[in-house]
Structure 1
Amino acid sequence: MNNRLIVIGVVILAALYVFFSSIYVVNEREQAIVMRFGQITDVRTEPGVYFKIPTDIVDSVQILEDRLLRYDIANMRVQVSGNAFYQVDAFLTYKISDARRFRERATGQLSVAEARIGASLDAALRQVYGLREFNAALSDQRQQMMQETRDLIRPDLAELGINVVDVRILRTDLDADVSATTFERMRAERLAEAALLRARGQEQAQSLRAIADRQAVEIVAASTRDAEIIRGTGDAERNRLFAAAYGQDTEFFEFYRSMEAYKAALVNTGTTMMLSPDSEFFKYFGSNGSIPAANPNLSTPIQPTAAPITAPASTEPALDGLGIEESTVPTLTLEDGSQLSPTVGTDVPPPVEAPAPTPAATP
């Protein structure tokens, strides 16, 4: 009885072993290679439950990934045109597209395939970077560089049954040795540009300052000239009036000049002046306050012999095109709104008509 139970148990175990060794399951993330005595007989890419010859002695199954896989490369030192170096981080996404070829060329092992992928990616990146200048990897050529790298790797990895989906460059940094040199070069360029801008600004400032100084000198000179001309015109007019007054009444003019002399000389200045009482200076001091008699016979005023002095007209354009005339006539606006202009010339006043002589009294 016991032997029968043992035999039944052995048979059941053998049957279970045969059953379970004859089936295999492929899910949606995998693909399977069926081999008989080491030769590939079938490739299963659809998910499901499949059967084979029991035990692994005759038929064996190798499960492969059917998902997108990723291979990373970090801190890769590449040289660009011009002997500069970059530190590059990149990754590659791929998929096993031909399981049969992958088994034949890479023994179905991802480690073997990734060794080939790493070498191909390294060579492709060096080739792409080596054809470009220093700043290309940091410009809009980055997308084109990734596409070129992918296209260079695809034919090589297609021989392994691998389809390269995409290549991405994560980081492109300057090498530590090149970074310091590049920083100093960029700093020197910025300093040179700043010095150039500063020099141009100083040049323009000096030019504007020189123009302003010259204009100030010319304006002051023109104003001084006009002021002297106006002052000379006034002095000439004053002298003409004095001369006309002297010619009309000599006695009154001498009296007026003596009064002005007394006013200027006898002011309280602390100066002691000693003169003889009979001096001509005190001629009108002994008159007991009486004014000299008016001269009834006034002579004709002295006419001016020269034309009034006026500012010369200038035909030169405004200074430096800035709208500043070389000479302008100054004016003054009074409170009532009227304008006061300087005197350029004054007509000679009409002579004073002499009064009719009075007849002398007969004794």
Structure 2
Amino acid sequence: MLFDKPFSDVTFDDIQKLSDEQIEESMILDYKQQLNDYSIIKQVTAFSNTKGGYLVYGVMETGKGGHPQSINGIDGDLNKERLEQIILGNIVPRVSVQIKKIPIPDTDRVILLVHIPEGQSKPYYNNQDKRYYKRYNFSATPMDENEVEWLYQSRFFGTSKLERYIDEAIYFSQNKLPHELQLHGIEGHVVITPLKIDGQMFEPSPKFGHELMELHSDKVEDCTSYLSYSIRPSKFGIKWDDEDPLRNASNKVEIHRNGLVHSMKICGSFFKENSVKRFDDELLACNLLQTIRFTSTFYSKINYIGNVKIMVKIFNCVNSILTNGENEYTEQIKCDSEEVLVERQWDSWKLEEDSLLIAKYIMDEISNYYGLWSSRLFHEEEGIIKYGV
């Protein structure tokens, strides 16, 4: 990390420190005296296609590859939201960037700091000038055909590898359960994962697990039930579960060494006396919200920033009806799918802030399987999404 603190906490003192310590431009750092729309699209594309990094606008360097010579800033009236839309609208596929305006003390000018994580869906295409760029020799340089082709092959391989990993590590055992065991309950799986799963992001240990539990408890009210199970090592990393040996299944939360988070909860049951299968959407929505917020805490602890995939998969829901835990809906519309899968992609640093929005999108789509336009669990008041019946 260039700055040893969260991006949102970076101040002018941190920028001044770059000058005082004569930190030179590098593969992950570029100083720019002025800002223009064309330049930032080109630079963001190059950083995304390489190792990611930081753009610091409002700083004049001593020369190409040099250190800050003066910090004059740029116009403080800059519209940050407009700039974000310019970036999002001109780079394909969609990139993930963090942008912050840092006021220069005793002036009306600002430093514009842009953090570009390494892209997980390379190559990224500058749709404005129809080129692919990479970061090379302190500048954005056009890529050749061989480099572009290699990145496309890597993207395809990475997507296939992620899908295969999830199937084998999470869903394989469920698909192999005998039918009579599947009738014990409807399983709701929530998976949040980086798009790339190569490498190890943390070292599993009791200390790490307990520190993560404490951080999550401090940030979210009434979250004790989410991690109330026993903590233990697993072949993937760390898990909290209430293992049921009779079903080879459990309510559990698990973090994998590669950054994947998986939570599974029983969110419905089959009642033999009246042959009714009931799906409790409130249990699933609660688990989804908790998992999103827990994952945000986890990623903050391991300093991961990037695009993530959010998946909710429900097993054994065919012929089930929605229930709120006590009473069924009057429509009594049954789900006609054996499995339900809903996916979204999001920026990791926006997970906690957007948790209600993400959960609403996903639960609305799940509700469609039961003949409802939207989930009963979310509503808007003056443009603010709220959760609760």
* TM-score, length of structure 1 as denominator length: 0.17
Query: Which has more radius of gyration?
Result: 1
Between Structure 1 and Structure 2, the one with more strand by share is 2
Between Structure 1 and Structure 2, the one with more helix by share is 1
* TM-score, length of structure 2 as denominator length: 0.16
